Chains A and B, each alone.
Chain A
């Protein structure tokens, strides 16, 4: 088996390692708060970082009212996320800026794959009874398989939160392991739904078990929980990713999702990645934003960078 550097084969479940995890919430929050005061990205550097952020977006639509039409519009935006004249003005026309992936429900995987054909943009499918993840296991497995067949290159699964809340790490491990097997060649992104895990210690432990079970990415949220991606949660997950890499050699990706709507926020997340995990986590193979509204704010900021004038939504093509 050749090792894909962007895949994590997982390791046997190590309950002692899980039990050894300690997370101090106040200290984590202090680091998350002070981090943003310690780093600042301005002017041309900010424009470059925002362009990089675009390439890390999982451009997402997960509405009950999705139709083939709006999914196709999303895919078109994914190919051309920024006005060509702006890219030209920023000297970025040759960089081939496009989003990291398009993320849809299984029902629109085929539609999206078709719309993105030839672009190189992968389709990600939310799966396994998203967002609660409580449909029968066999159905969840079949859903993954069906999405892969339909053309999804990435599968975003949700875990059974009860396994975390009751400390059934073996059950969680087995669940994620089964998801991974069902994915085949598709990359597995495991949503921990951190807003429903109660404590940062649970977030850290769930991160470890998911990575041991073979998650290629760990992801904060479905976007449907009351609390979505927060920097303290992201910091804890990033630290587990770092430790897992140090101890196993496998580099797992990270995806914050939900509530990331502003360009400033995405700079914060990129800074967090750079500081805690390094430059290896500043590209789409190891870092994604799950977001739908973020892109339009980035577009406005890029126009400001290009022209010096504050911009407006209507000046940028909508999804």
Chain B
């Protein structure tokens, strides 16, 4: 010791500062190093006896043997959760709040044990597990103890979903557990959770903690296992909702697997998040922001700022600072309290990082790594910086999930935004500038669920977290996160990814839509059986229907009205060149509508994109247009009522009621256009976190068959009010209300492309829209078969879907309009803005 003091006095080197692992290893030993599943408040081995090992990635040494969940285990866990559901969901809000509060306290009491377990199992530095993961996990339970207490007051009429299946990743094992479990329990659901196979230990410890906290058995169940176990859980019929955090690839599989099942779904997936640096940023702080962005948790962070976009004029000085900073980073034992980075999760991930880095270099990007070496034993990888990277480089597009930063330059703020958004992902973004005018101009333009201004990787339970685009949908944290675990019986309200095919009509004021034998394309046929071409549609046939005036040889024929498609603000003939007959209730030919096909859908989507300026218009301006549409509809109310009467066979009064309701609905959404306010979340920083309700983008809506005018208006109006542009598929049986309606739109100053109407075979056209990779959301109000098709088809770009099968009384405002529609028409962006000078 003596000589080393004198030596260190000279060198001023850092020494080892290890955290002891004794208590954590003792805890594992107390379980004989073997763990079962946690079901009904007790440990249970797998029914088939299978197990697997979990290892310390820093040493490769196995830590414990855990159970591999099979079908019988999943059945048992789900059944247990069902059994516990009535009592748990029947508890008072206050009682549930006490339970969540107890969980928060218990996590704090065992904070160090959990932190050490986390670092042992995952390889993350103890500093992070101790200072971030565990405190944030406790914070989530505290925050959601509050939501449990306030559920009845803040979410009136809402109910829990039931048994929730949750699948979490290995990068933040306990924190992701908290993000999933806390809101689920606060809302009154019971849970079956599967932690990642690499990192089950902290979840297993939490299970034991939950018993100590007095959580009733069966409310929280834990299944360990690999992807096979997860798949069983996803496909289990007893699960009302799946919440998944993980890769976009697996998220897509889950979307397909749950399609049409009625399960709610939230997905928090991958990212390739931009980190944008403007010339007026505090560059020294930027460097630390980059450290937080990409060298946090070894870069194994879904929202890692992995693409550095720097203004060309300051690129060299910034990169020089960055390289100097990289030299002082320290990589080593995760339990050493003086390291910045620990171990990569597993050899397979290390290999993936190495392969992608090699590919990046092979494609011509310039790799820079610090001069020091990482430990040769264990899974370690040095912080790495790629420059001379083009957007076309593989490493600029692919999520590496490792400590690898790619740097690119931009010239103007507009180009920075373009580069930032040049990715299918949309999880997070970081913007650095000392000009708030600039930063707050850029933040809303970024396609990302979270934007950090002059900071990076800040999280809090009070702010929603979740992605845009293929980074998934749904939010975790904050009020927006609670909606992901609640159902409002008066509607199918909730988060995106909703389905409720079992919903029954509340009160059918409208008579059931008569099946129209002459309409050629049966909307009830599963959509994947229908090709969007007129080939199987009988467009014109001998002995077909004729118009009413033809019966009277003396009558002057009316001037023909040709119903076309309405695309980009213009009436357009269909690409197919075919028309289909529209028959009245009495079987006479009322008119013909254009037979839209996939190319018309393509054109309509392009027109909708071209109209994206609508989203930037003020709420007031959008309201003015909606009011004007209502005004012009009112002036033609009788005509529309007569048309409804002729098409549906309902009486004139019913048609008048529908028109009046449509006018009122337009007024409602005109009213809401500037009132669906965001929030300022109470996060523990000096600053504000703005939760902005942003339009989703281009939305497809398939209007219901019944209420052909009101149904269309009830979907298109909220979408437009929130700033989306819309491709609408009207009622297939009664399309003339929609084609008449576009002439109202033309008279109402609606910018071209904001609402496009494509008539034709609805289910087939819907599938084209749902598959379209540049459509951001799709609403299906149709039959059950369509739900499965639409949800499966949406997996391509993970567009948000809202599918509601079954009838609904559109005249009833409680079912036909409201905040639920607005929430489905928006996505929440949380913008963190710390301040202070």
Chain A residues packing against B (C-beta within 8 Å): 22-31, 34, 37-45, 47-49, 51-52, 89-92, 94-95, 199-201, 239, 243, 270, 274-275, 279, 282
| Bound CA span A131–B691, Å | 48
B323–chain A nearest beta-carbon distance, Å: 13
Q: Is B8 an interface residue (CB 8 A)?
A: yes
| Bound CA span A21–B6, Å | 41
Asked if B285 and A27 make an inter-chain contact with CB atoms under 8 angstroms apart, the answer reads yes
Chain A residues with CB below 8 A from B127, complex form: 37-38
Chain A residues with CB below 8 A from B434, complex form: 22, 24
21 contacts between A and B (CB under 8 A): A22-B281, A22-B283, A24-B282, A26-B836, A30-B834, A31-B288, A34-B292, A38-B340, A42-B15, A42-B16, A44-B15, A48-B5, A48-B8, A48-B12, A52-B12, A90-B5, A91-B3, A91-B5, A92-B2, A274-B12, A275-B328
Please give me the residue from chain B that is nearest to A39 by CB atom.
B338
Asked if B1 and A91 make an inter-chain contact with CB atoms under 8 angstroms apart, the answer reads yes
Q: Is B32 an interface residue (CB 8 A)?
A: no
Chain B residues with CB below 8 A from A24, complex form: 281-282, 285, 434, 454
9 more contacts with CB within 8 A, not counting A30-B292, A37-B127, A37-B130, are A26-B455, A26-B685, A40-B338, A41-B14, A44-B4, A48-B12, A90-B2, A94-B6, A95-B9
Chain A interface mostly? helix
Chain A residues with CB below 8 A from B281, complex form: 22, 24
Interface residues of B, CB < 8 Å — how many? 43
The verdict on A279 contacting B455 (CB below 8 Å), with A41-B17, A91-B1, A91-B5 known, is no
| Bound CA span A201–B837, Å | 7
Please give me the residue from chain B that is nearest to A45 by CB atom.
B15
Chain A residues with CB below 8 A from B340, complex form: 38
Please give me the residue from chain B that is nearest to A35 by CB atom.
B288
Q: Is B561 an interface residue (CB 8 A)?
A: no
| Bound CA span A24–B452, Å | 14
The verdict on A48 contacting B9 (CB below 8 Å), with A24-B282, A199-B837, A239-B284 known, is yes
Q: Is B551 an interface residue (CB 8 A)?
A: no
State which residues 131-157 of B face A: CB under 8 Å.
131
Q: Is B280 an interface residue (CB 8 A)?
A: yes
Contact with A along B804-837 (1 / 0, CB 8 A): 0000000000000000000000000000001111
Point out which of B6, B16, B127 has the most chain A C-beta atoms below 10 A from its C-beta.
B6
| Bound CA span A29–B196, Å | 35
Asked if A200 and B837 make an inter-chain contact with CB atoms under 8 angstroms apart, the answer reads yes
State which residues 406-465 of B face A: CB under 8 Å.
434, 454-455
Q: Is B687 an interface residue (CB 8 A)?
A: yes
State which residues 525-562 of B face A: CB under 8 Å.
none
The verdict on A25 contacting B836 (CB below 8 Å), with A91-B3, A91-B5, A279-B12 known, is yes
Point out which of B11, B12, B131, B455 has the most chain A C-beta atoms below 10 A from its C-beta.
B12
The 8 A-B pairs with the shortest beta carbon distances in the complex, nearest first, are A91-B2, A45-B15, A27-B285, A26-B834, A48-B8, A25-B836, A40-B17, A40-B337
Asked if B14 and A45 make an inter-chain contact with CB atoms under 8 angstroms apart, the answer reads yes
Chain B residues with CB below 8 A from A239, complex form: 284
| Bound CA span A200–B686, Å | 16
Q: Is B512 an interface residue (CB 8 A)?
A: no
| Bound CA span A43–B337, Å | 13
Chain B residues packing against A (C-beta within 8 Å): 1-9, 11-17, 127, 130-131, 280-285, 288-289, 292, 328, 337-340, 434, 454-455, 685-687, 834-837
| Bound CA span A66–B395, Å | 66
Please give me the residue from chain B that is nearest to A28 by CB atom.
B285
Chain B residues with CB below 8 A from A39, complex form: 14, 337-338
Chain B residues with CB below 8 A from A95, complex form: 6, 9
Chain A residues with CB below 8 A from B11, complex form: 279
Asked if B12 and A92 make an inter-chain contact with CB atoms under 8 angstroms apart, the answer reads no
Per a CB cutoff under 8 Å, which of B4, B292, B837 touches A25? B837
Chain A residues with CB below 8 A from B17, complex form: 40-42
Please give me the residue from chain B that is nearest to A24 by CB atom.
B282
Please give me the residue from chain B that is nearest to A202 by CB atom.
B837
The verdict on A26 contacting B14 (CB below 8 Å), with A49-B8, A201-B837 known, is no
Chain A residues with CB below 8 A from B687, complex form: 26
Chain B residues with CB below 8 A from A243, complex form: 284
Please give me the residue from chain A that is nearest to B328 by CB atom.
A275
| Bound CA span A24–B286, Å | 9
Chain B residues with CB below 8 A from A282, complex form: 12
B459–chain A nearest beta-carbon distance, Å: 13
Point out which of A24, A31, A199, A270 has the most chain B C-beta atoms below 10 A from its C-beta.
A24
| Bound CA span A89–B3, Å | 11
Asked if A27 and B12 make an inter-chain contact with CB atoms under 8 angstroms apart, the answer reads no
Asked if A26 and B454 make an inter-chain contact with CB atoms under 8 angstroms apart, the answer reads yes
Chain B residues with CB below 8 A from A42, complex form: 15-17
| Bound CA span A41–B337, Å | 9
Asked if B13 and A27 make an inter-chain contact with CB atoms under 8 angstroms apart, the answer reads no
The verdict on A26 contacting B12 (CB below 8 Å), with A91-B2, A94-B6 known, is no
| Bound CA span A92–B653, Å | 101
The verdict on A27 contacting B455 (CB below 8 Å), with A38-B340, A48-B6, A92-B6 known, is yes
| Bound CA span A49–B8, Å | 7
| Bound CA span A40–B454, Å | 27
Chain A residues with CB below 8 A from B15, complex form: 41-45
| Bound CA span A47–B8, Å | 9
| Bound CA span A95–B338, Å | 27
Point out which of A28, A48, A199 has the most chain B C-beta atoms below 10 A from its C-beta.
A48
Asked if A45 and B13 make an inter-chain contact with CB atoms under 8 angstroms apart, the answer reads yes
Chain A residues with CB below 8 A from B285, complex form: 23-24, 27-28, 31
Chain A residues with CB below 8 A from B131, complex form: 34, 37
| Bound CA span A91–B14, Å | 19
Asked if B9 and A92 make an inter-chain contact with CB atoms under 8 angstroms apart, the answer reads yes
Chain B residues with CB below 8 A from A94, complex form: 6
Chain A residues with CB below 8 A from B3, complex form: 91
Chain A residues with CB below 8 A from B14, complex form: 39, 41, 45
